[in-house]
Chains A and B, each alone.
Chain A
Amino acid sequence: MRDYIYNFWQGLYTILVGMKVTFRHLFIPAVTIQYPSVKPQMPERERNRLYVNMDDCIGCDQCARACPVNCIEIETVKSIPGEDLGTTSNGKKKALWVTTFNIDFAKCCYCQLCVFPCPTECIYMTDTYEFSEFQRENLVYDFVTLTPEERIQKKKNFEEMQAKKEAEKIAAAKKADEDKAAQANKPAETKSDNKEENKQ
């Protein structure tokens, strides 16, 4: 019987205590913010959408290798002699044309692993977090500053250069062959040299 009354009293009492707590909270100002109209201030280390400053990118591919989900796709083309690509902000000389630098934000896991290995600190995370899209393809961001024509041009330039070199080499080889044929001396050695250069 004592338990019975005690239970009843406990029930009533704890309910009243709980009601006191919730009633007090009726007058405490809200801790939430009205999100789309009021936006929270993002901390400086905020890790959201990646940004690549292409002026500084040297196309070293380190970020793509660090990425655990392979969301960064980089393709580079060697510059032809005589082209000046400029230097990065920390004084490194650029030697590659970056013709593809795609980041697929549908895959990106915002882990920041790509940021640390970058030698020129050109890839970093910004505080932009509102970039949802209706089409998944739209989440593939292309950071390359070159126009599509320029990219094709650069590739072509490189190929032409390659072809020229090739031609030169073949010509040189031929010339050497001819010389050798003329001298009739050690034809095998030059052949292997040729192969190596082709690979490069």
Chain B
Amino acid sequence: MMYDWLYNLTGSEILAMFIVSLLPLFVFILPFALAAVLAERKVSAHMQDRLGPMRTGYHGILQTIADIIKLLQKEDLVPHATDKALFNFAPLLVFMGSYAAFAAIPFSGFFIGSKIDLGIIFIVGVTGLVVAGILMAGWASNNKYSLLGAMRAAAQIISYEIPTLLIILTVIMLTGTLSLYDLSEMQTAYFWNWLILGGPAVGLQKILLIPLMILGFLIIYTSTLAEVNRTPFDIPEAESELVSGYHTEYSGMKFAMFFLAEYANMFAVSAIVSVIFFGGYQSPFGYLGNTLGWTWLVPIEQFFWFTAKGLFGVFVQMWLRWTLPRFRVDQLMAFCWKYLIPFSFVILLLVGLITLM
């Protein structure tokens, strides 16, 4: 839609495409990452009875910008014994993976990079690039800590994709669509149409679906948490064991790329969770724009609701991070294979049976 509109506006396919693809980066990812890094610091600080950064701007709101400036000024340090090509390419690849995911995320009915029919699968597939990037970074750094971190990351991210996909499969079975746009449109109107509350199903079916969906939500939220390497699943970077895992040797802007990718990823996964279970960009109680008859307001409201849900997901991720200790690598695997995957299969089976009703 955005693309069509821009196409009509500019009259050039290439320009329209260019703008559409860059829009999420400049309108969303960068400001979000800046805000999220600050938010992370502030949230952690207040949870620990501190104040966090206070000296740059009012209550330190310019802290991240100052940090970015610092990182930009830093020397681009490449250690001597690294595999130069891979070492330089890895941060790009990691960032690419998380950036590409934003192409299919529907920020509102109007602002969606690409209305791919296989939206969910595309996102899950393309975020897989992150694993390759992390492995490259770990290997190319020629550092034992990095290598251990990268190995852990690869094992972890790949394992946790299974429960994620199984829950997505459950939802697909229920809704019959892979497109995130269609999925959001399906959960329109009020919040009881959200999939976590059974979605558009009615009667007994809906009541039976609710507990399963809540459990499904917990599983997918946990496993996406693991996919973006957040505590309690942050063993790839585990600062108390591996110094900082796969990005130990990185500094300056390359380190910032990893950082940016991490925060972009955090939003991406909570956006996906919110699209699947919380109606994506749909408002929980109708639109002001529709009531007033101002149709132009609706996409803005949708954008607001979408970011609000996504940011709440991010906030919970931060909240968990500053509350919980970290798993050990084998426990992490055990948790995935012994708890999440069996539960997902059970949910898949039960939802399948319920949909047959």
Interface residue ranges, A against B (CB under 8 Å): 4, 8, 12, 15, 18-19, 21-23, 25-32, 34
Contacts and interface: CB of A to CB of B under 8 A. Distances in A.
B207 interface: no
Contacts of A30: 45-46, 49-51
Nearest to B322: A22
A25 B47 contact: yes
B1 interface: no
B339 interface: yes
A12 B54 CA distance: 35
Contacts, number: 40
Interface string B27-65: 000000000000000010111111100100000000000
Nearest to B54: A34
A22 B50 contact: no
A31 B319 CA distance: 20
- Interface of chain A, helix or strand or loop or mixed? helix
A11 to B, nearest CB: 8
B100 to A, nearest CB: 32
B320 interface: yes
Contacts of B48: 25
Nearest to A23: B319
B50 A26 contact: no
Contacts of A23: 47, 319
Given A19-B319, A25-B49, A34-B51, 9 more contacts: A4-B338, A19-B323, A21-B323, A25-B47, A25-B48, A28-B49, A29-B49, A30-B51, A31-B50
B14 interface: no
B50 A18 contact: no
Contacts of B46: 25-27, 30
A31 B49 CA distance: 6
A8 B339 contact: yes
Nearest to A12: B218
17 contacts: A12-B218, A15-B323, A15-B324, A19-B320, A19-B323, A21-B323, A22-B323, A23-B319, A25-B46, A26-B46, A26-B47, A29-B49, A30-B45, A30-B49, A32-B49, A32-B51, A34-B54
Contact of B319 (A22, A27, A29): A22
A133 B49 CA distance: 32
Contacts of B47: 22-23, 25-26
Contact of A18 (B51, B218, B323): B323
